[in-house]
Amino acid sequence: NAGVTQTPKFQVLKTGQSMTLQCAQDMNHNSMYWYRQDPGMGLRLIYYSASEGTTDKGEVPNGYNVSRLNKREFSLRLESAAPSQTSVYFCASLAGDEFIGAYEQYFGPGTRLTVT
Amino acid sequence: SQQGEEDPQALSIQEGENATMNCSYKTSINNLQWYRQNSGRGLVHLILIRSNEREKHSGRLRVTLDTSKKSSSLLITVSRAADTASYFCATDSTGYKLSFGAGTTVTVRA
């Protein structure tokens, strides 16, 4: 049971390049999330997916797109990277759902992205 | 916008001492959760307290919740060097989305 896995662990991009961050969970969770973490700002929600086939914007969605490929996988795409997107990106999945109440989120190890 | 705000931003204590950090939030919640993040790692869930609970214990952790003041506290007793980490409160108002604060960085000195 690997939990939540993310690839890559580190990435350096030039302004304007694109890339996809991959996330997978093996806990059969319905809901998955993408956050970014910047110094002194805690975690901010970029996008989430409450179930397979659905995605919704979070607090800071501009410049990002997501795909919920299946129940296990939720990817985050940067179409044209900007220096403001330099951050640490975390994927998470949720034990529980909106009908029975949220429980804890399980986090991946993070992707450290630098855009130059 | 972030719902929770932790206080203090940073805390340095001696091994064996207790560490207390606080979280304030703005809107009504279903539950409040505390997470720990070790340097360079993802967040790990520590404890969840529901809106109808006032206090909860888990090992050396004690969490209180005062919904009238919209605040919570996390107490770590008899701290160890391994407790050095950042601690985040997260509020659940929707049932499936969490809103995180900026965190408290705790350093436990040997």
Region of B52 on the Ramachandran plot (φ > 0 left; ψ -120 to 50 alpha; else beta): alpha
Q: Which of B30, B45, B95 has its CB closest to that of A105?
A: B45
Provide mean pLDDT across the span A78-100. Answer: 87
Q: Which helix (H) or strand (E) holds A47?
A: strand A43-49
Query: In 3D, which of B28, B31, B88, B101 has the Cα closest to residue A95?
Result: B31
User: What single letter denotes the amino acid at residue A7?
Assistant: T
- What pLDDT is attached to residue B42? 93
Mean pLDDT of chain B: 93
Compute and round to an integer the Cα radius of gyration of chain A: 14
State chain A's mean pLDDT as an integer.
92
Smallest Cα distance from B68 to chain A, Å:
21
Cα(B28)–Cα(B54) distance, rounded to whole angstroms? Answer: 15
User: Residue B48 and residue A58: Cβ atoms within 8 Å?
Assistant: no
| pLDDT of B2 | 54
How many CB pairs (< 8 A) connect A and B? 69
Q: Could you tell me which chain B residue has the CA closest to the CA of A60?
A: B1
A33 has a pLDDT exceeding 70: yes
H or E element in which residue B61 lies: strand B61-66
Give the minimum alpha-carbon distance from A14 to chain B in angstroms, rounded to a whole number.
23
Q: Among partner residues B30, B42, B45, which is closest to A109 by beta-carbon distance?
A: B42
The confidence score (pLDDT) of residue B103 equals 93
The partner residue sitting opposite B95, judged by closest CB among A4, A42, A98, is A98
Inter-residue contact A47 to A35 (CB < 8 Å): no
Chain A interface, mutation test: which of B98, B99, B105, most A Cβ atoms within 10 Å? B98
Contact list, B44 vs chain A (CB under 8 Å): 107
Residue B40's CB is within 10 A of a number of other CB atoms, namely 10
Residue A39 pLDDT more than 70? Answer: yes
Distance from CA of A60 to the nearest CA of B (A): 9
CB atoms within 10 A of CB B6: 24
Q: Rounded CA gap, B38 and B36, in Å?
A: 7
For residue B68, what are the contacts with CB-CB under 8 A and spacing of at least 6? Answer: none
- Half-sphere CA count of B25, side-chain side, radius 13 A: 31
Q: Give the best-scoring range by mean pLDDT among A35-49, A83-97, B70-84.
A: B70-84
Using the structure block, give the residue that is written with the tokens 């980490």: B85
Q: Which residues of A62-90 are buried (b: 16+ CB within 10 A; e: fewer)?
A: eebebebeebbbbbbebeebeeebbbbbb
Q: Out of A96, A97, A107, name the one closest to residue B43 (CB).
A: A107
pLDDT recorded at residue A99: 53
